[in-house]
Amino acid sequence: MIRALRRWDRKALLALVLKAMRSPRTLTFLLVDSFLVPVGLRLRGVRVGRGCRFCGFPLITLAPGARITLGDGVVLNSRPDSNPAGLPHPTILAALTPGSAITIGSGTGISGASIVASSSVTVGRRVLIGAGACVWDTDFHPLDPERRRVHATRGATSAAIHIDDEAFVGARSIILKGVTIGAGAVVGGAAVVTKDVVPGTIVAGNPARVVGAVAADSAGARIS
């Protein structure tokens, strides 16, 4: 009886596995997202924390001597259908110069955003960064045309960016060099942020201006 049950269990289990393997989505999840992406990132030199989740391959640029660190439980969405808003491109993490660093805090989620560091970009814990947001600590090119003629990118100005815990960076916003976004602050969709954002405020527009404040009770409950 027990042996028959075991045989049935094995058959049922096998049928279940075969059924799951026939679904391209399950296969992608098992093979690509849970295995190939984290292994591939580690092979590229990215430090990956425990319990990170990936949906598709992020695009990584890591200069020699640069550092990209993902804390525990970071979520990186990179497939177009991995966010109901749709992603314009995979998540991009680019540490361009030796000594530059991108640090993503535990529990932070990023959907198809572009994070580029020539100095450093530091993102806190449980931050959300929306589809197509750009967090760029560099102008990429020098402003003086003569210098650009000599070299298109060398000498571009850069300054560190900090996005503090539990901030929410809206879709298609641009966070420019030197900006600090305070804890629990909200950046509206398509905002262009050129100056520091006070913790717990809501900013929007181009250039971004304060348009509100996160309700005190909810901010108090969420910000640790």
Ligand X SMILES: CC(C)(COP(=O)(O)OP(=O)(O)OC[C@H]1O[C@@H](n2cnc3c(N)ncnc32)[C@H](O)[C@@H]1OP(=O)(O)O)[C@@H](O)C(=O)NCCC(=O)NCCS
**3-state secondary structure labels for all residues of 28-55:** HHHHHHHHHHHHHHHHCCCEECCCCEEE
- Quickly tell me which residue has 């572009």 as its tokens: 114
Nearer to ligand X, 41 or 133 (CB): 133
- In this complex, which beta carbon is closest to ligand X, that of residue 111 or of residue 138? 111
CB-based contacts of 187, cutoff 8 Å, min separation 6: 133, 167, 168, 169, 170, 173, 175, 181, 193, 197, 203, 204, 208
Residue whose CB is less far from ligand X, 147 or 222 = 222
Which CB sits closer to ligand X, 131 or 156? 131
Residue 77 CB, shortest distance to ligand X, in Å, is 9
Q: Whole-number minimum distance, CB 179 to ligand X, in Å?
A: 16
User: Which 8-state DSSP code applies to residue 13?
Assistant: H
Footprint of ligand X (CB under 6 A): 83, 85, 111, 130-131, 170-171, 186, 188-191, 202, 204-205, 211-212
How many residues comprise the chain?
A: 224
In contact, 95 and 61? CB cutoff 8 Å: yes
For the bound state, the minimum distance from the C-beta of residue 215 to ligand X, rounded and expressed in Å, comes to 9
Q: How far is the CB of 21 from ligand X (least distance, A)?
A: 32
Tell me if 91 sits within 8 A of 69, measured CB to CB.
no
> How many whole angstroms separate alpha carbon 155 and alpha carbon 223?
38
Nearer to ligand X, 77 or 138 (CB): 77
Q: Assign residue 60 a region: left if phi > 0, alpha if psi is -120 to 50, beta otherwise?
A: beta
Min. distance of Cβ 83 from ligand X in angstroms?
6
Residue 64 in tokens: 């020699």
Positions annotated as catalytic residues are 141
